[in-house]
Copies of this chain bind each other. A is one copy, B any other.
Amino acid sequence: LSVSLTLALDAMGGDDAPDMVIGGIDIAHRRFPDVRFLLFGDESRLRPLLAARPQLAAACSVHHTPDVVTAEDRPSQALRKARNSSMRLAIDAVRDGAAGGVVSAGNTGALMAMAKVVLKTLPGIQRPALATCLPTLEGETVMLDLGANVESDEYHLVQFALMGADYAHTVRGVANPKVGLLNVGVEELKGNEIVKAAGQILRAANPPFIFHGFIEGDDINKGTVDVVVTDGFTGNVALKTVEGAARMFTEFMSAAYRDSFRARLGFAVAKPALTALRAHFDPRAYNGAVFLGLNGIVVKSHGGTDEIGFANAVVSAINMIAERLTDRIVADFEHFLAEVVPDSKAAAS
């Protein structure tokens, strides 16, 4: 693939940074040799890592940053204090047009707060939302918001629906994404007032995606829709609930394997099939949540990921920039959101 663009990296974010970051972009570099990387971090640590990778080094420029946002920093603290941090300066590079997007495995709250203040939301978008992909029986689904907001009104949910559909379309190649609103039942009368109002808006409007209607929690992994829309509180709980259920299942599987000699033998024979099964649920394959709705692509990698997981977050950021996801959200605002969200035209101007 010949993709030519520039990506900024918070090289100091994450448990195993900067080694994991350099290892990750090295993997991404082999897939996208024309992509340039702006590395923000401790020069004395980055230079030796790049010296060992001359091909990657030619695609990188290093920008020394003295500070680091830690996992303990509160978002408000990070905003005030960390103006010379690797995270902040990587985001600034996106604002200044030097890069199309940024990837960080650092403090989520700080990244969210800084990105919102520095990059601002796109015209027509009142709140950015955090989205990721999840495995389903049918393939994958996009879910948002995963916790960028703790409370959402019906218009926020409608904006999330649009941004999620654009993400599924541009990044995952779903021509006509099916969007569902997460609820406690599928009938129109079910749910709280906000979900019911969002359902009414989407049913009455003519959105640039298929509005499937309400879905329930078990529809997430069933793959009923391409995009699962919900408020940040419910979405955060649902995402972590899936992660917890997957962990319980794999731990019980491992325990079953240790159960007896016979079990160990059987699982050894079935190993290729089990390895394929495990790969299907490899959390590294789903690493990288994107903040949708900002002037620029902002991808959050899991802090505890390794270079393979980080590479996946980098590749998804490259795809979103190359497919011009933000342009598409802006165009959809003009054609759809401005009609259904009151005052959004005024808010956007």
Contacts and interface: CB of A to CB of B under 8 A. Distances in A.
Given A256-B277, A270-B256, A273-B262, A238 B236 contact: no
Contacts of A220: 241, 244-245
Contact of A236 (B135, B184, B240, B265): B184
A192 B245 CA distance: 24
A150 interface: yes
Contacts of A249: 245-246, 249
Contacts of A280: 252
B262 A270 contact: yes
Contacts of A209: none
A88 B242 CA distance: 37
A253 to B, nearest CB: 7
Nearest to A271: B266
Copies of this chain, tallied across the complex? 2
Interface string A177-196: 00000101000000111000
Contact of A272 (B147, B262, B270, B274): B262
Interface string A255-288: 0110110110111111111101100110000000
Contact of A263 (B246, B273, B281): B273
B240 A216 contact: yes
Contact of A247 (B222, B233, B246, B259): B222
Interface in A212-237: 216-222, 230, 232-234, 236-237
Contacts of A265: 269-270
B248 A273 contact: no
A248 B147 contact: no
A257 to B, nearest CB: 7
A255 to B, nearest CB: 8
A187 B256 CA distance: 35
A335 to B, nearest CB: 31
A218 to B, nearest CB: 3
Contact of A217 (B240, B267, B268): B240
Contact of A237 (B147, B217, B273, B277): B217
Contact of A222 (B222, B248, B277): B248
Given A220-B245, A266-B268, A266-B269, 12 more contacts: A137-B252, A184-B236, A217-B243, A218-B240, A218-B244, A219-B244, A221-B244, A241-B242, A245-B246, A246-B249, A266-B271, A267-B270
23 contacts: A135-B248, A136-B248, A137-B251, A184-B232, A191-B233, A216-B240, A217-B236, A217-B243, A217-B244, A220-B244, A221-B244, A222-B244, A230-B237, A238-B241, A246-B249, A256-B273, A259-B276, A263-B273, A265-B269, A266-B266, A266-B270, A266-B273, A267-B273
Interface of A: 135-137, 147, 150-151, 182, 184, 191-193, 216-222, 230, 232-234, 236-249, 251-253, 256-257, 259-260, 262-263, 265-274, 276-277, 280-281
